[in-house]
């Protein structure tokens, strides 16, 4: 009986190392497979994650520019409503628009000032820094609506400010459209895109009906 027990014990001792080695090999293979799967998942997920981050950043910057230009158009139209039939109204509106766009470094393409009651009447002003000069005095817009400069470069606006109705009850409605170019940083969507913002305001009355 003692001999049998010793032989049985010898078989068990010889089996355990073999089982242990087989288990270790299996675990090693499993770890290598898991590591490979992790690398594949990372190769798929990381590009998508970066794409989403860049997309959020791109659209965030575009939205910021749009808000800036919308604010500039609104402030330009609001100021224009107070200028009424001043002969320099268009030029003053352009200055107001430029003041709100300058700090944001927004690239303006064009500003249109028009009669909202008759949208075909108005002028498209292109931003052309120092392109129209009379001596040392320059106008940054073409055509130039600054009546303080000689003609040329001064040109009477298509909707002449002096003809605008500032008498109650039917004052004119002023429209301001600002067009600007947004440069996409990554170029994932496009190199550049042109956006516009339009605001309309009734001119503030400067002549009141004595019978009203």
- Tell me the pLDDT tens digit for each residue of 67-119: 989 999 999 999 999 999 999 999 999 999 988 887 767 778 899 999 999 99
Residue 109 near residue 180 (C-beta atoms within 8 A): yes
Residue 170 structure tokens? 């039917």
Q: Is residue 140 assigned to a domain?
A: yes
Cα separation, 2 vs 131, in Å, equals 114
Q: What is the mean pLDDT of the chain?
A: 81
- How many domains does the structure of the chain reveal? 1
Rounded average pLDDT over 134-151: 88
Residue 1's pLDDT band, with cuts at 50, 70 and 90, is very low
Residue 66: give the domain boundaries: 45-202
More confident residue, 21 or 131: 131
Q: Is residue 21 assigned to a domain?
A: no
Q: Is residue 163 assigned to a domain?
A: yes
What are the C-alpha distances in Å from 20 to residues 10, 15, 23, 28?
A: 16, 9, 5, 12
Q: Is residue 17 assigned to a domain?
A: no
Residue 76 structure tokens? 């330009």
Cα separation, 111 vs 92, in Å, equals 13
Q: Is residue 37 assigned to a domain?
A: no
Q: Is residue 74 assigned to a domain?
A: yes
What are the C-alpha distances in Å from 148 to residues 15, 109, 151?
A: 106, 24, 9
Q: Is residue 193 assigned to a domain?
A: yes
178-193 confidence digits (pLDDT tens): 998 888 887 766 788 8
- Give the angle subtended at the CA of 115 by the CAs of 143 and 63, to the nearest 5°: 80
Q: Is residue 34 assigned to a domain?
A: no
* Residues facing 133 on adjacent strands: 138
């Amino acid at each position: 009986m003692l001999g049998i027990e010793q032989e049985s014990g010898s078989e068990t001792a010889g089996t355990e190392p073999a089982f242990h080695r087989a288990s270790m090999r299996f675990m090693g293979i499993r770890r290598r497979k898991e590591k490979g799967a992790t690398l594949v998942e990372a190769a798929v997920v990381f590009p998508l994650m970066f794409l989403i981050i860049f997309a959020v950043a791109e659209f965030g910057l575009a939205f910021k520019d749009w808000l800036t230009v919308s604010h500039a158009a609104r402030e330009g139209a609001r100021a224009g409503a107070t200028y009424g039939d001043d002969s320099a109204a268009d030029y003053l509106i352009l200055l107001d628009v430029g003041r709100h766009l300058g700090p944001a470094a927004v690239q303006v393409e064009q500003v249109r000032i028009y009669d909202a009651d008759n949208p075909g009447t108005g002028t498209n002003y292109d931003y052309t820094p120092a392109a129209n000069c009379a001596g040392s005095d320059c106008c940054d817009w073409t055509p130039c609506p600054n009546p303080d400069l000689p003609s040329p470069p001064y040109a009477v606006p298509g909707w002449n400010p002096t003809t605008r109705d500032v008498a109650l009850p039917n004052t004119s409605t002023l429209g301001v459209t600002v067009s600007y170019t947004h440069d996409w940083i990554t170029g994932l969507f496009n190199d550049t895109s042109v956006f516009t913002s339009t605001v309309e305001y009734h001119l503030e009355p400067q002549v009141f009906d004595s019978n009203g």
